[in-house]
Amino acid sequence: MLANIRPLFQEAAAIREPCTLATLFDRSPLEHATAGQIVFFEGDRALHLFAIREGNLRVCRQLHDGRRVITGFLTKGDIVGVSFKNRYLYSAEALDDVHFQRQTKVAFDQQLLARPDLRPILLSQLCDEVAAAQDQMVLLSCKSAEERLCSFLLAQLHKSTSLGFARDVISLPMTRLDIADYLGLTIETVSRTVTKLAGQGILSTGRRHEIRVLKKSALVLRAGEGDADVDNELNDTLRCCRH
């Protein structure tokens, strides 16, 4: 009788586990990388996937003329390498102290076969990566320097909020040169635009790795984007005015 009941308890425990890809890395040892250390190199065989537990990475590609292009920034909770096939498409470098877990692609695929509930989450992540690549194409091809920076700051604001920062605080572990390389701008343009926005009372730049947003609606307007939270704030203001 007990032998028949035990599998039921095991199945119930599996159902209660959080449905995230990160759970597939729980048995892997925790590794550490310091600022500037390379986690993996562009062009190397893509044998592993990585789950970031703490810290931040920048991912970049090297052009044939030696120039660096930053293609994104990864942080706590991100899974790296899901879309890779045979080779890493970019290098990943630690921005600060990073703790991560790795797993071979073979082991990851085997675990995924045993967890069909995680397959929609995997598909969702792949779709998010495609959408992010499309957003980056629009950012670089259609937007002005100010719009690019404001769009980037809004994206970082949303990410910072999801990580537990105050709703008006943007965490920026990367340097302004990193931001410039990501946005296809010069560091002078990034610094000049931040100073301009601060002078207009839209941002406050008192701390080294943080920017405080003083007027989110103005930042959204400068980015040329719509934002549900800002729309709700404006609607609330209009309702107050009517009363």
Instruction: Give tens-digit pLDDT for 18-62.
Output: 568 888 899 999 999 999 999 999 999 999 999 999 999 999 998
Number of domains in the chain: 2
Give me the percent of the chain exceeding a pLDDT of 90: 56
Looking at the structure, tell me whether residues 127 and 150 fall in a common domain.
Answer: no
| pLDDT value of position 119 | 80
Which residue is associated with the tokens 């095991």?
Answer: 10
Give me the percent of the chain exceeding a pLDDT of 70: 84
Looking at the structure, tell me whether residues 152 and 86 fall in a common domain.
Answer: no
Q: What is the mean pLDDT of residues 174-188?
A: 94
Looking at the structure, tell me whether residues 112 and 151 fall in a common domain.
Answer: no
CATH number at residue 56: 2.60.120.10
| pLDDT value of position 19 | 65
User: Which position has the higher pLDDT, 24 or 206?
Assistant: 24
Domain boundary among 106, 139, 172: 139
Q: Give the β-pairing of 48-54 and 203-204.
A: unpaired
Identify whether the C-beta of residue 59 lies closer than 8 Å to the C-beta of residue 90. Answer: yes
- Find the domain containing 17 and state its range: 2-139
Looking at the structure, tell me whether residues 28 and 80 fall in a common domain.
Answer: yes
Looking at the structure, tell me whether residues 98 and 160 fall in a common domain.
Answer: no
Looking at the structure, tell me whether residues 134 and 166 fall in a common domain.
Answer: no
- Please state which of the ranges 48-57, 64-73, 93-102, 121-130 shows the lowest mean pLDDT: 121-130
Measured distance CA(13)–CA(6) in Å, rounded? 11
Q: What is the mean pLDDT of residues 88-116?
A: 92
CATH number at residue 233: 1.10.10.10
Looking at the structure, tell me whether residues 112 and 33 fall in a common domain.
Answer: yes
| pLDDT value of position 17 | 45
Q: What is the mean pLDDT of residues 196-217?
A: 94
Looking at the structure, tell me whether residues 41 and 129 fall in a common domain.
Answer: yes
Look at residue 10 and tell me whether its pLDDT is greater than 50. Answer: no
**For residue 186, how many other CB atoms are within 10 A of its CB?**
13
Looking at the structure, tell me whether residues 148 and 128 fall in a common domain.
Answer: no
Looking at the structure, tell me whether residues 154 and 78 fall in a common domain.
Answer: no
